[in-house]
Amino acid sequence: MSVSKKENVFVASRFVLPEHREMYLSMREDDKLVPMPILEQDELESFHYQLRDAGRENYAVAITWWKREKNGLGTTCRMWGKVEWVDTNSRKVKLLTDEDVQWIPMDTIIDVRS
């Protein structure tokens, strides 16, 4: 397997300061950031219906949401669990797994799968 010099900049150079390496890796992470997807109103309504139904009928769902990182860009996160609570006042969903509890803002949800 061949690795280009551009991708293998630290192997090509024997002496790299830790702060330069950290800055380079940070820039590579920034390349992975994406803008928040724009969803249609019917998609959002479908997600809200699925979340309420999953909470009422007690079945697990996989929720994908967008998390802001910097400069209006972010990453997508995904979690599978039971919808414990849908708080319509603060517009958050409480998702419960065996190990974790996560409050997910409803305005950042980009997909719900049962």
pLDDT along the chain (114 residues), means of 10: 56 69 70 86 94 93 93 91 93 94 95 94
| C-alpha 6, offset from chain centre | 28
Whole-angstrom Cα distance, residue 42 to residue 48? 10
pLDDT of residue 66: 95
Do 85 and 55 form a contact (C-beta atoms < 8 A)? yes
pLDDT of residue 34: 86
- pTM (two decimals): 0.72
pLDDT of residue 5: 55
pLDDT of residue 27: 67
Degrees, nearest 5: CA angle 19-75-50: 160
pLDDT of residue 33: 83
Q: Per CATH, which fold does 34-113 belong to? A: SH3 type barrels. (2.30.30)
